[in-house]
Structure 1
């Protein structure tokens, strides 16, 4: 991830997650632990998951507690984390609904899932291929499934009675 995107992702994490107050955050698709310093700097305790053994080895060398696991089945108990964050990883998953469903499973009531992703148009080196406008310089973001028991932060609708396959989880 380039430096401008990394700095933008750090700012978004700070804004969307806020202070961790020593609560537990799942770094979903943690890779080599690039965002660990930002998350721990916000006073979150971390556990990282990634499918790559090589990346998990790098993350562990950085001091991150991390495990090799599929994004469709974390080795974590139901309602065991206070927050989950996935940063610039949405294009790495075969399908997002199972990933969001699994994140919903491990989030405690009131937990938050933060997704930070780049819009495909930002892959253009200097302009939007359709309009010729400058390419976006920051990642897009959404805080979805913000709570296991509160109205959806995106639509305001009432929460679902159980896990949903909707990307919003609460809808």
Structure 2
């Protein structure tokens, strides 16, 4: 069945592509690789009953990479079909807008925002909510796309044209995120972010493009001009 044409960044695309979340060779394969890299940044829980809030959790791709670390894993998303999949992978689902979270202040020991920030239309409100629900001393981990010409070329002009690559129209390049702005905005809320670039391992990516089998390790890089990670800690009160 042909996928309907949607406007850029339309969340209905995730319902159209619901069967792709957990396919190793599917359209969301790179999201799974990035989730594995994000999971490595999540520290083990430091207390009983610790909570990890996974914003933009999608189909729950982070779940296997934080299982056993001691958290109750709460996933927040607007897409019902994705939340149903996340529930099947041990995530407690919450359907909500990330700019108005129905969660208490200082609830989370860890907040994850994976491949989310480049999709939101009110980035300051989203950052504010991330910091509001994060406990003092808690950790935020995120990854997103940079607001650069290079990123727009690779993520839109190239990735959306690779067979089996990113779905056409999944991103709106006008929403890509300047890493310097993001660091400054988190700092306003008492969270000091450290950023680093992230990219697929070249050999693994080429093997995957040819065979569509296995995963591709994501490796750190010095440049934050395309895809980047950030990790930070909220100031203790």
User: For 1:93, which of 98, 110, 120 is the aligned residue?
Assistant: 120
How many matched pairs?
Answer: 139
Q: Deviations over 1:134-170 (max 9, x none)?
A: xx434411124x21338xxxxxxxxxxxxxxxxxxxx
Is 1:141–2:141 an aligned residue pair?
Answer: no
Shift of 1:41: 4.0
2:38 and 2:141 in contact (8 A); partners too: no
Q: Which has the higher contact order (CA 8 A, sep 6+)?
A: 2
Aligned to 1:108: 135
TM-score (norm 1): 0.70
Aligned to 2:80: 53
Q: Deviations over 1:53-94 (max 9, x none)?
A: 221122112221011001011121111110100111222211
Aligned to 1:38: 65
Correspondences of 1:9-88 after superposition (within 5 Å): 9-14=35-40, 16-21=41-46, 23-88=50-115
Identify if the C-alpha distance between structure 1 residues 25 and 50 changes in structure 2 by more than 3 Å, giving closer, same or farther: same
The whole-number CA distance in structure 2 between the counterparts of 1:63 and 1:147 is 27
The whole-number CA distance in structure 2 between the counterparts of 1:99 and 1:93 is 8
Aligned to 2:168: none
1:107 and 1:148 in contact (8 A); partners too: no
The structure in which a higher percent of residues are helix is 2
2:35 and 2:61 in contact (8 A); partners too: no
CA RMSD of aligned residues (A): 2.5
SS at match of 1:30: coil
Shift of 1:8: 4.4
Q: Which runs of 5+ in 2 are unaligned?
A: 1-27, 163-198, 201-217, 219-226
1:104 and 1:148 in contact (8 A); partners too: no
The whole-number CA distance in structure 2 between the counterparts of 1:63 and 1:9 is 16
Deviates more, 1:28-37 or 1:57-66: 57-66
TM-score (norm 2): 0.52
